[in-house]
Amino acid sequence: MTAPAPPRGGHIARVAAMPRAKRPGHGLVLALLIVLLCLCGAACSQDDPQKTPSATPTAPQTAATPGKRPAASAAAATRRILVVGDSLSISLGEQLEHALAGAPGVDFTRDGTRSTGLSRPELLDWPARLRELTAQTPPDVAVIMLGANDAMPLTAADGSRTYFENPAWVEAYAAKARELVDICKQANPAAAIFWVGVPSMGEPTLGAGVKQINAALAAMCAATGCRFISTEAAFSDSEGRFTRHARDAATSETVPIRTADGVHLTDSGSRLLAGVVLQSLTGRELLPPTAGTNELLAQARDLRAVADEPRQPPKEPPAKAKPRASHKTYTIRNGDTLLTIAKRLGLDPDDIAAVNPGVDSRRLSIGQTLRLPVKR
């Protein structure tokens, strides 16, 4: 007999039927899935840079950004100080520069020119010069000392002149000073700006002019937010008069603070000026304390201007005793003069003339007799 042909698709049916009897349980399948998930998790964990040593290169990159910030912060913390002005500012700047030498976070610049001011732009155009300086280094603290040379007419842009005695001079001068303050503010709107007043002067006319200049500067500062530092009291006696000397309270020593011209400062005077300025700056915590600044502050604290001793009139030499004639005489010889006779005999020619009142010393005759004075 011929075997019956298998039904179409019977193989598939068989394969589907047989595993049903021998298929593993659901628990085993779940276990296999869990194992696979664990293996995948382990593989993923090896790529996590935060859990393996391979993450170490990333750490310096994260630390590199904060590493640059302190440098920027240090630059921002540097306090830029600018001192400008006339010859008095040179003395001031030298003392401040020396006191702040080596101080951390201080960038110090000074620029002083003798005989200059705001009334003589032909010597130095201070607005142009200050723009140049502040463009190079915008100051955080600007100290200006100009005015000692400004008691003179002001010339406007149109050539017109305002004389010092004219009441309009004060306003015109304040406008010129305000321009310098504005230049500093344009370079750094947060800048602390100080204008140092002119100390008292020895010459009375100049001293009166300085008072007018200081008044104009003080009013300008009050209107612009600039700080005016008065120096008149530090360099005047208790009556407000100019003085050349000061007494050190720490040593009781009297020292000169002004030079012979009555304008400029000695070394002690320069240190006193710097100490007065530092009192305003350190009071606002604009400068770091140093041994040098502390010394200048002590100078300003201990040194007090005192009245000069009244000048004594020159002593007249004691009057000579009237010469007396002796019993001796001298007979004129050829070529004799009172001077040669006095030199030969060790006498004063004036004494010889005094005891011979009727004799003309220019017309001595040979054989003429002269009386001789008592030698003294």
Indicate where the chain has its CATH 3.10.350.10 domain(s).
325-373
Identify the top-confidence range among 124-128, 306-310, 364-368, 369-373.
Answer: 124-128
**Distance (Å, rounded) from C-alpha 240 to C-alpha 234?**
10
The whole-angstrom separation of Cα 356 and Cα 335 is 19
Handedness of CA 103, 109, 112, 118 (dihedral sign): negative
Question: Does the model's pTM come out above 0.75?
Answer: no
Q: What is the DSSP letter of 248?
A: E
CATH number of 325-373: 3.10.350.10
How far, in Å, CA of 13 to CA of 213, rounded?
Answer: 119
What would the mean pLDDT of 57-72 be, rounded to a whole number? 37
* Residue 254, strand partner residues: 247
| Alpha helix ranges (H) inside the chain | 10-22, 26-45, 58-77, 87-100, 126-136, 168-187, 204-224, 267-283, 291-302, 338-345, 349-354
Hey, which residues does 258 pair with through a beta bridge? Answer: 265
In terms of Cβ atoms closer than 10 Å to its own Cβ (0-12, 13-18, 19+), residue 291 is exposed
DSSP 258-283: B-TTSSSB-HHHHHHHHHHHHHHHHH
Measured in residues, the chain has a length of 376
CATH architecture of 77-306: 3-Layer(aba) Sandwich (3.40)
Instruction: At 331, list the tokens.
Output: 């007979």
- Residue 36 binned pLDDT confidence (cut-offs 50, 70, 90): low
Q: What is the pLDDT of residues 72-119, one digit of tens each?
A: 444 457 999 999 999 999 999 999 999 999 899 999 999 999 999 999
Q: What is the model's pLDDT at position 32?
A: 53
Q: Where in the chain is the domain with CATH 3.40.50.1110?
A: 77-306
Alpha-carbon dihedral sign for residues 98, 142, 273, 203:
positive
**Cα 45 to Cα 43: distance, rounded to the nearest angstrom:** 5
At residue 313, the pLDDT reads 73
Q: How far apart are CA 217 and CA 232, in angstroms?
A: 13
